[in-house]
Amino acid sequence: MEKDDEDLDRLIDELESARIEPDPDMDDVPEPDLENDVDDLVSETLARIHEAQNQYRKAAQIYVKLASQEPDQSRAYLEKAAEMRQQAEQNAKDEPTR
């Protein structure tokens, strides 16, 4: 049992000496630029959400971005973008003028 305690103490000493102390000076760390990342964040789900909210132009923009990001499904996304633009035009015609 005493051998186990010695091994455990040795292991604790090794781990203590291997500890990395964090540098509390965070002034050198630049702020992340999230502005551009948010604009590039697109998904089919996001496009469908905009479609469900009758934001057809925004949905069309997202489908165009998806088409450029996923060449295998490019044709389907571009067709959906065209459909969204048509829907946006139809809604603009149907809205009463103020």
What is the per-residue pLDDT across 38-78, written as a single tens digit (0 to 9) for each? 556 789 999 999 999 999 999 999 999 999 999 999 999 99
Handedness of CA 21, 26, 30, 34 (dihedral sign): positive
Say how far apart CA 63 and CA 40 lie, in whole Å: 12
Q: What are residue 76's phi and psi, to 5 degrees? A: -65, -40
Say if pTM beats, i.e. exceeds, 0.75: no
What is the four-CA torsion angle of 10, 14, 16, 21, rounded to 10 degrees? 180
Q: Is the pLDDT of residue 17 over 90?
A: no
Specify the residue for token string 């571009």: 78
What is the pLDDT of the chain when averaged over all its residues? 84
Q: Is the pLDDT of residue 95 over 80?
A: no
> In terms of pLDDT, which residue wins out, 71 or 28?
71
What are 80's two structure tokens?
A: 């959906």
